Amino acid sequence: MNTVIENSALRSLLERLHASSDTQDREIAAYYKAGAERPTGFEQEGSAGREFWRDKFVALERDKAEFIYALCRAMRARRIVEAGTSFGVSTLYLAAALRDNGGGLVTTCDIEESKAEVARGHFAEVGLSDLIDLRVGDVRHTLRDIDEPVDLLVLDIWAPITADIIALIGPHVRTGGVVVADNITARRDRYAGLIAYLADCSNGFTTQTLAFEGGLELAVKTQGA
């Protein structure tokens, strides 16, 4: 299979993780078919909902992940922030791009300690741990201290939370920096806060929805806000 990832150990780990995520996607489709709602954020979620999602990858699809890898390379990204680590699939692509750019740091966060523990194992397996600052807890708290210029912000987290994160990190995205948000067309109403922030000229972004499955929002900070 063609991939932008050249490192063979990383390629085979990613292949394994994407395959597991694909298998679970069928289980998730059945869950929705049975009437379950998309996850909203843990305050609103019943414990059964949280239990269901606790072992799910919900990993960024290969094509989106490869696109973001290439974007990081093109931007020569050094400082990345990600909301939603899960088992670390997208983070592996981000850290690989940093390594291939000559170094940097991706700060990523997930609320589930059990997922973070497995993700840490994946990062170590392919020697990428040094490029990753993995934080455990509610992203609305764990990312509060980010204050340096951010090249890329990746939002791959339950939709309603994206409004809080963009308010927190958006001002730190450097001019020329990028925000990427997954699945924006799947349930656009749930991204209302994020969309409103990106559309507000005073925040300095120019934004468009790329035609990946479910939509991938790509916003570039074109003016210093």
Ligand X SMILES: C[S@@+](CC[C@H](N)C(=O)[O-])C[C@H]1O[C@@H](n2cnc3c(N)ncnc32)[C@H](O)[C@@H]1O
Residues lying near ligand X in the complex (CB under 6 A) are found at 41-42, 57-60, 84-87, 89-90, 109-112, 115, 138-139, 156-158, 161
> CA 113 to CA 107: how far, in whole Å?
16
Q: How far is the CB of 223 from ligand X (least distance, A)?
A: 28
User: In the structure encoding, which two tokens stand for residue 155, read together?
Assistant: 């939002």
Strand order in the sheet with 150-155: 132-136, 105-110, 79-83, 150-155, 173-182, 216-221, 205-210
Q: Which is nearer to ligand X, 109 or 219 (CB)?
A: 109
Place of tokens 């040094």: 130
Nearer to ligand X, 151 or 182 (CB): 182
In the complex, minimum distance from the CB of residue 93 to ligand X, in angstroms, rounded to a whole number: 8
CB 34 to ligand X: min, Å: 20
Q: How far is the CB of 35 from ligand X (least distance, A)?
A: 21
Backbone CA torsion sign across 49, 218, 3, 128 = negative
In the chain the first and final C-alpha atoms are separated, in Å, by: 42
Of 49 and 225, which has the nearer Cβ to ligand X? 49
Q: Decide whether 94 or 204 has the Cβ nearer to ligand X.
A: 94
